[in-house]
């Protein structure tokens, strides 16, 4: 069968640089950092004492006191960003066939905070004090499940867990469900809230996090020679995906069209990317092939760009391998320089940023880029947003375990 065309009609974002799509986007274009000292727990003894914690979010604005108590933060973020995406899409749920509407929202880790709190209860007060909401609060599928409950969507409802590639895989897999007829509308993306003591401590133990604690806003510096690790962050990014026919039938404003999707595995190491970038390069190549695109068609790349030594070098190699000499002509920025690394939600907020580059014809910068690295020699849009025509935008996500995912969006045209 012929694949059905998939368009994007709505976006929702919760992020360290702003809750809400327009606030998020304005911060990115202005080059504002959302990285701050950790204040929500005592991080004095930690190697990394900074994070991208969401500060403009009040659960009671969105949920009742009871709901806010029972729903884990990563689940709340998924619901809030989904509601915003639905509102932007002007999707009237009373006039949608809910049997043909699904949810695919993933998370890399789920609720570490719940694990910490409940295990402490167990140690101090015994097993009888463990909350009956412990399991529903920690299992990752609850984000998709709760969005399904909140919207009434009764189509495919599932989740993806591929570490830092989670949200990109979720959006790409949701596109496949639409393309091959399993749904007409999908709510898709990723959510994360793991900037807790265990989360920060665990990634610090891996030597993955920056130690630039005295300069929080300058700590995340993808592709810069002096990068020393990523900054953990939290939030969610969700998109409304529809068949072109469904969107047109209800007179929706189409933000962009999904052009291609590719995913591969390095089959190499539990955390490190394969040094040649072959797996990531193949994901890019597959996404271009899926969209019948050539390297010359790519206008902009939203890089995975974590600010770690290996990732940035390997992603640069992968892009050059996939795009050849044209790689040097394509602007490629890392919005993680401002948001930090949202782990399983990263691909969701970066998908939103990629769609918005097409909507507004402006590319967000890589801030804190001060010292060029000879091994990272592409155009990283240093420090200042760039106005330019963006017809096709690519977003890369590379996850622990060797998961590589690339999704491409393009300007909509008949």
Q: Tell me which of 53, 246, 341, 403 is the catalytic residue.
A: 341
Q: Tell me which of 164, 175, 246, 403 is the catalytic residue.
A: 164
Q: Is 164 assigned a catalytic role?
A: yes
Q: Tell me which of 53, 304, 376, 403 is the catalytic residue.
A: 304
Give the CB-side neighbour count of residue 36, counting CA atoms within 13 A.
14
Q: Is 40 assigned a catalytic role?
A: no
Q: Is 304 assigned a catalytic role?
A: yes
Instruction: Just list the catalytic residues.
Output: 164, 304, 341
């Amino acid at each position: 069968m012929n694949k059905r065309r998939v368009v994007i009609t709505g976006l929702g974002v919760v992020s360290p640089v702003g809750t809400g799509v327009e606030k998020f986007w304005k911060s990115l274009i202005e080059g504002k950092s959302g990285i701050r000292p950790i204040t929500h727990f005592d991080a004095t003894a930690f190697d990394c004492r900074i994070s991208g914690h969401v500060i403009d979010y009040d659960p009671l604005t969105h949920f009742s006191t009871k709901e806010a108590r029972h729903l884990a933060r990563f689940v709340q973020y998924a619901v809030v960003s989904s509601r915003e995406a639905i509102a932007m899409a002007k999707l009237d749920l009373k006039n949608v066939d809910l049997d043909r509407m699904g949810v695919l929202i993933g998370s890399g880790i789920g609720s570490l905070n719940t694990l910490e709190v409940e295990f402490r209860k167990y140690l101090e007060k015994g097993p009888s004090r463990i909350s009956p909401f412990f399991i529903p609060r920690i299992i990752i599928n609850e984000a998709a499940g709760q969005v399904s409950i909140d919207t009434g969507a009764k189509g495919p409802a599932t989740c993806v867990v591929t570490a830092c590639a989670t949200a990109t895989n979720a959006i790409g897999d949701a596109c496949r469900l639409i393309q091959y007829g399993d749904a007409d509308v999908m709510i898709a993306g990723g959510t994360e809230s793991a900037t807790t003591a265990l989360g920060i401590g665990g990634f610090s133990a891996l030597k993955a996090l920056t130690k630039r604690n005295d300069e929080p806003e300058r700590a995340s510096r993808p592709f810069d020679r002096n990068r020393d690790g990523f900054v953990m962050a939290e939030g969610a990014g969700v998109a409304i995906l529809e068949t072109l026919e469904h969107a047109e039938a209800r007179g929706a404003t189409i933000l962009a069209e999904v052009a291609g999707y590719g995913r591969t595995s390095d089959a190499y190491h539990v955390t490190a990317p394969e040094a040649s970038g072959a797996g990531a390069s193949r994901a890019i190549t597959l996404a271009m092939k899926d969209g019948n695109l050539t390297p010359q068609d790519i206008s902009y790349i939203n890089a995975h760009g974590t600010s770690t030594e290996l990732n940035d070098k390997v992603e640069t190699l992968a892009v050059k391998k996939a795009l050849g000499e044209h790689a040097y002509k394509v602007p490629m920025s890392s919005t993680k320089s401002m948001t930090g690394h949202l782990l399983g939600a990263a691909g969701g907020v970066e998908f939103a940023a990629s769609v918005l580059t097409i909507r507004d014809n402006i590319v967000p910068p890589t801030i804190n880029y001060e010292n060029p690295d000879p091994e990272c020699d592409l155009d990283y849009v240093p420090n200042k947003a760039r106005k330019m025509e963006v017809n096709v935008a690519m977003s890369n996500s590379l996850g622990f375990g060797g998961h590589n995912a690339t999704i491409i969006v393009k300007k909509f045209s008949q």
